[in-house]
Amino acid sequence: MEPIIKSQDQLYCNSLTSYSRRKTIPVNVGGVLIGGDNPIVVQSMTTVDTMDTQGSVEQCIRMIESGCQLIRITAPSIKEAENLKNIKDELRKRGYSTPLVADIHFTPNAAEVAAKIVEKVRINPGNYADKKKFEVIEYTDESYQEELNRIRERFLPLVKICKEHGTAMRIGTNHGSLSDRIMSRYGDTPLGMVESALEFLRICEDENYHDIVISMKSSNTQVMVQAYRLLVQKLVEGGFKPYPLHLGVTEAGEAEDGRIKSAVGIGTLLEDGLGDTVRVSLTEDPEFEAPVAKALIDRYSKRTPHAEIKKIEEYPIHPFDHEKRHTYEVFNFGGHHVPRVITDISKIEKISEKEIKQTGHFYLPELDKWKMNDQGCDFVFSGSNPIPFMLPNGMKEIQYAEIWKQQSDQINKFPLFNLDEYANSSDFHLELNFLEIFDTEIEEVIPIIADRKDTVLILKTSNKHAMPALRRAFVSLMESNTEIPVVVKIAYPDQDHDLTMLYAATDVGGLLIDGLGDGIFISLEKENQTDRQEILDQVKLHNSVGFGVLQAARTRMSKTEYISCPSCGRTLFDLQETTAMIRKRTDHLKGVKIGIMGCIVNGPGEMADADYGYVGSGKGKITLYKGKEVMKRSVPSERAVDELIEIIKEDGMWNESDSI
């Protein structure tokens, strides 16, 4: 296998095998230090209208009390920028010193006002000096340079104000709102995102202004991760200072989906030591965001020391592109198959037909029929507790090898071996066997499995630095050209639901982003529950988290994807209520991506690659999109969901709900 990265100099992080935070320059934001050796900072953004001083202050306080160390507030025009002073004064009067950040899109004059009031200004390089026209223009080198000169002229006053007032800045690129200039030259690629920030960064450096934090957000986790990595590499290559990184996944959505998607993107980067401040964007009240960000960050405070992971000399994985690891097909694993979900029910003795519904498979006694929903797991792991009823077609069971060997019907049942059993067994399933190993056993296993086209590896680790340890095992397989499919097995004993969700998303999502893994298996191993209902709840959670992680890493679409903005002071309708309403009517449209955006200013750009869009375009007015194309303008909000469904139907993407 040809290595992609041949030396440390080409890497995007300090180490792929040993936890180490990237060294950055510290940036002082009103006393909160981002970067350097300082702890990773938690931040979030208000959703109240910026002109509502009291409402904004009350919300800021709720956010601060939930763990927010930095608060961003939108300033769409000069009047909101000016009102930041009232918000700040009131907060200080009430004893809160949390620094404020003004969020700017399209309005340099508002930025210039805000920079004199608040501690940090966020600009979007895609729209600071450009209005998006979705035009593809052919630029010559000369006309491109002219554009850059125009930007410099527009941007320089802000840089000077920031320098003079000690105000920090975030150059915050969004995948969905790149300028027409960048799109024409680079497309909406990670490289385009990086270049978009560098255009502005060069101006800052020329002015000797360095109080800068950079972000590369996208709602597509693969693009987001690749863009941050590429940014680090380009900063090094271009001789820029090592600026701190602000991590975030845009429009992540709500509830479990929003948390999983955020953790896949943010967690993957944190694992490699990237990131100095984190904002989790959920379509929920902002005080729910900081605890999620904190849970993601806290994991690294105890990361070192961790068990040693063998160094990687040459790296065969492309960090800036998604390329699935090449595997051969075993049964329905590997090859061209989507990653599989194995759901663990092994702690439940004599599971009933009714209870197995936690795995997405339903028995309907009135019809004496089995059905499964979009999250019906591919395999159930029963361990030493075989399923005591006849398996319906399609349901497949994995058992410990010793149990499997005693079964009379072995067609839909498959054995799971440990290394010792596997090496000494002469009795195998003809088509599909599972071999469970630790990452540390990989070198020993490779010669044993090299020629086996009837086996899938179940890979697990006990290393605290789990994702990199598992990744190292994949690298060993790639180095030896061993193309066996691999399912990643993880276990989180003694944890609440939220942490299981976030950790599974980080550990397995981080691998899937890099094309590694042909399945996910969240184990009940060591779970300390004894209450049957609690275990069943855990099974249900693991099953849905399994599918959620695959979807968030964009490797298997099993449900409708909602790209909903977190809302801010620009929002024109109740995002949470509207998202819930749209979800209720459309959540059976497997694989369809629906953007739900609070305003027409940023919404169309930021809903990225949504198939359909529902965008606030005025009080009580919605504009509906198919891709980037406007289908209906200014639809009264009472009719907008029906009209959206009409558009989906006309497009042939609708099917009637078959809810169970």
The DSSP element (H or E) to which 261 belongs, if any, is helix 255-262
Nearer to ligand SF4, 513 or 601 (CB): 601
Q: What is the smallest separation between the CB atom of 161 and ligand SF4, expressed in angstroms? A: 23
The DSSP element (H or E) to which 167 belongs, if any, is none
567 contributes a contact to ligand SF4 by CB under 6 A:
yes
Nearer to ligand SF4, 114 or 312 (CB): 114
What does DSSP say about strands 120-123 and 246-247: parallel, antiparallel, or unpaired? unpaired
Q: What is the smallest separation between the CB atom of 568 and ligand SF4, expressed in angstroms? A: 3
Nearer to ligand SF4, 273 or 603 (CB): 603
Task: Determine the interface stretch with ligand SF4 among 29-37, 314-322, 422-430, 563-571 (rule: CB under 6 A).
Answer: 563-571
Candidate residues 565, 610, 622, 640; the one interacting with ligand SF4 per rule CB under 6 A:
565
Task: Determine the interface stretch with ligand SF4 among 516-524, 562-570, 634-642, 649-657 (rule: CB under 6 A).
Answer: 562-570
Nearer to ligand SF4, 13 or 249 (CB): 249
**Across 218-288, where does the E strand assignment appear?**
246-247, 277-278
Nearer to ligand SF4, 433 or 571 (CB): 571
Q: In angstroms, what is the C-alpha Rg of the chain?
A: 26
Q: How far apart are CA 585 and CA 656, in angstroms?
A: 10
Nearer to ligand SF4, 114 or 490 (CB): 114
Q: How far apart are CA 32 and CA 440, in angstroms?
A: 41
Nearer to ligand SF4, 336 or 619 (CB): 619
Q: Which two tokens stand for residue 443?
A: 């070198």
Candidate residues 35, 190, 519, 603; the one interacting with ligand SF4 per rule CB under 6 A:
603
Candidate residues 465, 570, 583, 626; the one interacting with ligand SF4 per rule CB under 6 A:
570
Which one, of 367, 366, 362, lies nearest residue 392 by Cα?
362
Answer whether 624's CB lies under 8 Å from 644's CB: yes
Q: What is the smallest separation between the CB atom of 105 and ligand SF4, expressed in angstroms? A: 7
For residue 4, give every residue at least 6 positions away whose Cβ sits within 8 Å of its Cβ, in sequence order, or none.
315, 316, 317, 318, 319
Q: By CB under 6 A, what part of segment 28-87 binds ligand SF4?
A: none
Q: Which two tokens stand for residue 252?
A: 């992540």
Which one, of 207, 204, 268, lies nearest residue 509 by Cα?
268
Candidate residues 189, 482, 544, 602; the one interacting with ligand SF4 per rule CB under 6 A:
602
Q: How far apart are CA 399 and CA 629, in angstroms?
A: 51
Candidate residues 606, 611, 612, 623; the one interacting with ligand SF4 per rule CB under 6 A:
606
568 contributes a contact to ligand SF4 by CB under 6 A:
yes
Q: What is the smallest separation between the CB atom of 598 and ligand SF4, expressed in angstroms? A: 3
Alpha-carbon 456 to chain mean position: 27
Nearer to ligand SF4, 506 or 623 (CB): 623
Distance between first and last Cα of the chain: 47
| Chain position whose Cβ is nearest to ligand SF4 | 598
Q: Which two tokens stand for residue 4?
A: 């992609």
Q: How far apart are CA 360 and CA 226, in angstroms?
A: 33
Which one, of 450, 465, 343, 469, lies nearest residue 398 by Cα?
343
Can you tell me which residue has the tokens 């699935």?
Answer: 324
Which one, of 526, 19, 501, 97, lies nearest residue 303 by Cα?
19
Nearer to ligand SF4, 211 or 606 (CB): 606
Q: What is the smallest separation between the CB atom of 217 and ligand SF4, expressed in angstroms? A: 11
Q: What is the smallest separation between the CB atom of 278 and ligand SF4, expressed in angstroms? A: 17
- Residue 442: exposure state from Cβ atoms within 10 A (0-12, 13-18, ≥19): buried
Q: What is the smallest separation between the CB atom of 567 and ligand SF4, expressed in angstroms? A: 5
What does DSSP say about strands 100-104 and 486-491: parallel, antiparallel, or unpaired? unpaired
Q: What is the smallest separation between the CB atom of 407 and ligand SF4, expressed in angstroms? A: 55
Q: What is the smallest separation between the CB atom of 523 and ligand SF4, expressed in angstroms? A: 38
Q: By CB under 6 A, what part of segment 571-600 binds ligand SF4?
A: 571, 597-599
Nearer to ligand SF4, 491 or 568 (CB): 568
Q: What is the smallest separation between the CB atom of 47 and ligand SF4, expressed in angstroms? A: 8
Q: What is the smallest separation between the CB atom of 262 and ligand SF4, expressed in angstroms? A: 15
Candidate residues 566, 578, 583, 614; the one interacting with ligand SF4 per rule CB under 6 A:
566
Q: How many residues bind ligand SF4 (CB under 6 A)?
A: 13
Nearer to ligand SF4, 449 or 565 (CB): 565
Which one, of 213, 212, 177, lies nearest residue 192 by Cα?
177
| 305 prior amide bond cis, ω within 30 | yes
Q: How far apart are CA 169 and CA 212, in angstroms?
A: 5
Which residue ranges make up the site for ligand SF4 (CB under 6 A)?
Answer: 565-568, 570-571, 597-599, 601-603, 606
